[in-house]
Amino acid sequence: MSERFEPRIVAFVCNWCTYTAADNAGVGRMEQPPNVDIIRVMCSGRIEPAFILKAFALGADGVIVSGCHPPGDCHYSNGNFKTFRRMPLVERLLAQFGIEKERFHWGWISGAEAVKWAQLTHEFTERIRALGPLNWGKGDSHLEGDCHL
């Protein structure tokens, strides 16, 4: 009856590791779902928490943040340290806003891990598909009707 839900996923990935992995996955003809939109940034330490919030606010059903493996892989030596200091707080912040923790994935994928990238896109897409659309700003909690207790 109803059409299968196709989640919209935004992935913020660093230029040096995860983007290279995603690029290699494409060059290597690895199958990936078309649901993941990649936004390349120079470093995962450049990914401001506001980017993640804005992605959800503008319609993303899930968000991925991925950079180089700590401690040693970062092209800028410790940009990814900023990432692992911030992201645990972002996780908790999202939960307080009522966004399920399953909708946000952060981690590390090196340039040599194209297979890992392809797997992540599959697994994450299916996970979000099972959760259903987020529809930020369109839920019942935003209605202004007269439904007093």
Compute how many residues bind another protein; rule: CB under 8 A: 35
The span from the CA of 52 to the CA of 95, in Å, is 13
Residue 146 DSSP label? -
Site for another protein in 95-134 (CB under 8 A): 96-99
Using CB under 8 A as the binding rule, whether residue 81 contacts another protein is answered as yes
Using CB under 8 A as the binding rule, whether residue 10 contacts another protein is answered as no
Q: Which is nearer to another protein, 32 or 84 (CB)?
A: 84
Contact 50, 66 (CB under 8 A): no
Using CB under 8 A as the binding rule, whether residue 92 contacts another protein is answered as yes
Q: Which is nearer to another protein, 45 or 111 (CB)?
A: 45
Q: Which residues contact 17 (CB under 8 A, 6 or more apart)?
A: 66, 67, 68, 69, 73, 75, 108, 109, 110, 111
Contact 105, 120 (CB under 8 A): yes
- Binding marks (x or -) toward another protein, 20..59, rule CB under 8 A? -------------------------x--xxx--xx-xx--
Nearest to 64 by CA among 39, 93, 97, 42: 39
Burial class (CB in 10 A: 0-12, 13-18, 19+), 59: middle
Using CB under 8 A as the binding rule, whether residue 148 contacts another protein is answered as yes
**Interface region with another protein, contact rule CB under 8 A, candidates 21-29, 30-38, 82-90, 122-130:** 82-90
Give me the residues that bind another protein (CB under 8 A), please. Answer: 45, 48-50, 53-54, 56-57, 70-71, 81-82, 84-86, 88-90, 92-93, 96-99, 136-137, 139, 141-144, 146-149
